[in-house]
Amino acid sequence: MTFEFFTRLVDGQPELSLLIWASALIVVMYIARQQAHQIILVMVRSVRNALRIMAQSVMYAEKQLRNRNREVLLAQGQEHAERFIEREFQRVEALVNRDLSGYPSLQRDLQEQITRIDEDYAQSGEVPPKPPEWLKAIDSVAKIPDNGSSVVGKILNDIHKTLKKSLDKSMQEYRRANRDRHNLLKKMMPYWRSLTSSLYTVEKKITGLEQRSIIIDGQMQSYEDIRKQTAYAERLLSSSSMTQFFVSGLALVLAFVGMYVNFQLVALPMEEMVGASSYLGSSSIRASDVAALFIISVEVILGLFLMESVGITRLFPIINLLEDHKRRIIFWIMLSFLFIFAGIEASLAYMRDMLAADREALSQLLSGAEVSEPALRWIPSVGQMVMGFTLPFVLAFVAIPLESFIHSFRTVSGLFGVWLLHMLVVFIRFLANVINGLGKTLVSAYDLLIFIPLKVEASFMQKQSTPVVKTTTTEKAAKTEKSEAIEKVEKVEKDETQ
């Protein structure tokens, strides 16, 4: 059926033909108005319901992912806190072993110092000798009157002299005793100082332990928060994960730059070993590049195992669960391998320099220029060798940011997934609303196409109805009918949702 078919209804009058067709269509549409409205609204409702169910499913998935993220985050945080506390306890143990292991000897020293001070103090407390008891008797005898007797006088005079002599002696003895006491007290001074110093040392050690205990207390508090799964702990861990993600990502980027430099040092000499024009299969990947990358990857893996065996990283639980002496063996094996690879890289770097020089000489020869040996050529050679030797050890430390990145990536990717699902829910809901609005617009547009019969119907109804009803306009009648249909559908929807 072409357009011409519709214009041929009345010969020679296409406009009239089209008008007849349009009128017929409007009449048909008017007759089928209710059914058409229902079809449109049912279709819209179906799509909207499907979208709502989809949105609910995505919301459920978002919720699940959020919970899973929370679990992972808290588990990681808990593990991290445990490790931190464990390390702190190890430090405390080291402190105790280092500082307090000498405590018995310190105590002995203190005891000795105190004993000496005590002895000196006891000695310094000795009372000076008292005058002899017989002095009283002599004093009584000396008070006897001589009655003019020269003998008695002489005796009394002798007694007096004896008494005086004895007093002088006692005085001298007293002074000597006092001097000795002062000397003893003077001797106590260094012991006091030593005692003060010893106690100060003890105080310092105790303070160090106290500071450690404060840190442990703080960590224990956050550990408790994590165990209780508080929102604060979750927020803290989430923020910490983001920071870790970016910091470790930056460190990894720098490590990749280092790997690229390493690759440049190794790739050219590798051509000597595996051939310069060999490719992997039909790809454009050069075999020498793969070999160079393999060497670098092995170095990184060795570094991973090395860090694992020392206990710095915990990427491989099997290694962590090994006994200490086995881990020590792994450490030495990995370190030996790293040394071997560092040596290989240093020699490859030297070979690279030789090859580059050879290539340069050839290109000079081919260009017809005189081949000359550049001055101080040994400096870049040595530099490359040193770089070749040190880079494997530097790359060994990639394990640390790698571990942080892997752990934080889990959290960050989870958060990103949640955000993505949330955005999907928003989009689906928006789409559902748009489709709903589209349905209503379609219904209105349908009525717009058949507004003439609707007007006629409204006028007819106005004439047929009661005076009260007659006052209503035709538009209102049409609107009421449409809104009733919509309300009916919405009611059904509500019921379904409930």
Partner 1 sequence: MKRIFFSLSVSVVILLTVLAGCSDTRSKRAVYVLVDTSGTYSQQFDKVQGVMRYMLGTLLPGESLALARIDSGSFSEQDIVARMTFDLRPSMANAQKRAFLESIDSFGSSITPSKYTDITGGILQAIEYLNETRATDKYILIFSDLKEEIKQGQVRDFPINFNGTRVVAINVTKLNSDNVDPREYQARLEDWSVRVEQGNGSWKLINDLNRLDSIWE
Smallest gap from residue 319 Cβ to partner 1 (A): 11
> How near is the Cβ of 394 to partner 1 at its closest, in Å?
20
Can you tell me which residue has the tokens 């290989």? 344
Does 55 engage in binding with partner 1 (CB under 8 A)? no
Q: How far apart are CA 387 and CA 312, in angstroms?
A: 25
SS3 59: helix
User: Does 250 engage in binding with partner 1 (CB under 8 A)?
Assistant: no
For residue 142, state whether it binds partner 1 (rule: CB under 8 A). Answer: no
User: Binding of partner 1 at residue 294 (CB under 8 A)?
Assistant: yes
CB of 328 to partner 1, least distance (A): 10
CA-nearest of 270, 291, 242, 275 to 405 is 242
Q: Which of 114, 171, 362, 469 binds partner 1 (CB under 8 A)?
A: 362
Contact 264, 356 (CB under 8 A): no
The interface region with partner 1, picked from 21-29, 119-127, 140-148, 288-296 by CB under 8 A, is 288-296
- Residue 58's nearest CA partner among 433, 434, 415, 419 is 419
Query: CA-to-CA distance for 390 and 345, rounded, in angstroms?
Result: 9
Q: Which of 277, 466, 497, 498 binds partner 1 (CB under 8 A)?
A: 277
**268 sits near partner 1 (criterion: CB under 8 A):** yes
Closest separation in Å from C-beta 362 to partner 1: 5
Please give the residues from 330 up to 349 whose contact with partner 1 meets the rule CB under 8 A.
330, 333, 337
Evaluate whether 172 touches 162 at the Cβ level (below 8 Å).
Answer: no
Q: Of these, 2, 101, 147, 284, which contacts partner 1 (CB under 8 A)?
A: 284
DSSP-derived secondary structure letter, 472? S
Q: Return the structure tokens found at 318.
A: 């099997």
Please report, to the nearest 10 degrees, the dihedral formed by the alpha carbons of residues 88, 90, 92, 98 taken in order.
-150
The two tokens of residue 175 are 């002074």
| Nearest Cα to Cα of residue 418 among 57, 52, 54, 59 | 59
Name the segment binding partner 1 (CB under 8 A); options: 88-96, 217-225, 350-358, 400-408: 350-358
274 lies in the site for partner 1, by CB under 8 A? yes
Query: Positive or negative CA dihedral for 245, 250, 254, 257?
Result: positive
310 binds partner 1 per the rule CB under 8 A: no
Q: Which one, of 106, 313, 96, lies nearest residue 212 by Cα? A: 96
C-beta of 105 vs 282, nearer to partner 1: 282
Task: Give, rounded to a whole angstrom, the gap between the first and last alpha carbons of the chain.
Answer: 48
Size of interface with partner 1, in residues (CB under 8 A): 36
Nearer to partner 1, 140 or 284 (CB): 284
Per the structure block, which two tokens stand in for 427? Answer: 């989009």
326 binds partner 1 (CB under 8 A): yes
- The residue range among 126-134, 286-294, 393-401, 426-434 that interacts with partner 1, by the rule CB under 8 A, is 286-294
Q: Which is nearer to partner 1, 241 or 288 (CB)?
A: 288
| Residue from 31, 199, 329, 426 in contact with partner 1 (CB under 8 A) | 329
For the bound state, the minimum distance from the C-beta of residue 289 to partner 1, rounded and expressed in Å, comes to 10
Output b/e per residue, 52-87; b: 16+ Cβ within 10 A: bebbeebbeebeebbeebbebbbebbbebbeebbee
Report the alpha-carbon distance of residue 26 to residue 39 in Å, rounded.
18
Q: What percent helix, strand, coil does the chain show, rounded to 5?
A: 85, 0, 15
Segment near partner 1 (CB under 8 A), from 83-91, 106-114, 123-131, 279-287? 279-287
Concatenating the DSSP letter of every residue in 432-450 gives HHHHHHHHHHHHHHHHHHT
In the bound state with partner 1, the residue whose beta carbon lies nearer, of 352 and 482, is 352
Of residues 225 and 271, the one with the C-beta less far from partner 1: 271
Q: Does 275 bind partner 1 (CB under 8 A)?
A: yes
Asked if residue 310 lies in contact with residue 298, where contact means CB atoms within 8 angstroms, the answer is no
Site for partner 1 in 389-408 (CB under 8 A): none
Binding-site member from 100, 163, 298, 400 for partner 1 (CB under 8 A): 298
Site for partner 1 contains 445 (CB under 8 A): no
Can you tell me the distance from the alpha carbon of 294 to that of 292, in angstroms, rounded to the nearest whole number?
A: 5
- Contact string (CB under 8 A) for partner 1, positions 159-198, x = contact: ----------------------------------------
**Least Å from the CB of residue 283 to partner 1:** 8
List 286's β-bridge partners, or say none. Answer: 279
Q: Which residues bind partner 1 (CB under 8 A)?
A: 268, 271-284, 287-288, 290-291, 294, 298, 326, 329-330, 333, 337, 354-355, 358-359, 362-363, 365-368
